[in-house]
């Protein structure tokens, strides 16, 4: 485990990417300003994912990734960037449905979550375009295909 990226596995799934791989993906998404960032990444089952999505986004279903940015520099924890929650069963289901490899989809969602912590968003077409282009570049640099292309053959 990396001291800057804490990974908590609260899911019942046995086949998850290794913690060091998850931490590596997260670090690839950090810009220069946030290289020393502290992040907690929690892997959950659908029950916890649903409860969090309902409480924080008023949605009646679990989602693949939630990001909780700190939003401001805290004196007692100046490098604390925020928390990411990834719902493992949804990630596996989406990877299968979208014809993506397990690791490629996990990497994408970890990177997506870290970008949210740094202030990126996809609320508008312009913001989405910027965020997606960064995701595509990072994923390409670590050997994964563009996640926004329809069917992947990997």
Q: Which domain holds residue 106?
A: 5-141
Number of domains observed in the structure of the chain: 1
Rounded CA separation 1/105 (Å): 21
Average pLDDT, the chain: 91
Look at residue 134 in the predicted model and tell me its pLDDT. Answer: 97
Give the CATH number, domain containing residue 76: 3.40.390.30
Number of H helices, E strands in the chain: 5, 4
Look at residue 65 in the predicted model and tell me its pLDDT. Answer: 96
Instruction: Specify if 150 maps to a domain.
Output: no
Q: At what angle do helices 102-117 and 125-141 cross, to 10 degrees?
A: 130
Whole-structure pTM value: 0.90
Which pLDDT tens digit goes with each residue over 84-139? 999 999 999 999 999 999 999 999 999 999 999 999 998 899 999 999 999 999 99
Average pLDDT on 62-91 reads: 89
Instruction: Specify if 52 maps to a domain.
Output: yes
Instruction: Specify if 149 maps to a domain.
Output: no
Q: Quote the tokens at residue 149.
A: 């292309």
In terms of Cα–Cα distance, which of 82, 110, 99 is closest to 16?
Answer: 110
Strand 65-69 and strand 80-87: pairing?
Answer: antiparallel
Which pLDDT tens digit goes with each residue over 139-152? 999 999 999 985 54
């Amino acid at each position: 485990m990396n001291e800057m990226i804490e990974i908590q596995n609260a899911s019942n799934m046995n086949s998850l990417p290794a913690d060091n791989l998850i931490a590596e993906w997260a670090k690839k998404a950090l810009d220069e300003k946030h290289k020393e960032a502290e992040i907690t990444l929690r892997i959950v089952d659908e029950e916890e994912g649903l409860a969090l999505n309902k409480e924080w986004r008023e949605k009646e279903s679990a989602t693949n990734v939630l990001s909780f940015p700190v939003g401001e520099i805290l004196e007692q924890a100046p490098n604390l960037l925020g928390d990411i929650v990834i719902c493992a069963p949804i990630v596996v289901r989406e990877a299968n449905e979208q014809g993506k490899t397990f690791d490629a989809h996990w990497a994408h969602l970890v990177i997506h979550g870290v970008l949210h912590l740094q202030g990126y968003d996809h609320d508008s077409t312009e913001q989405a375009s910027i965020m997606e282009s960064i995701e595509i570049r990072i994923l390409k640099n670590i050997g994964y295909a563009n996640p926004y292309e329809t069917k992947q053959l990997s």
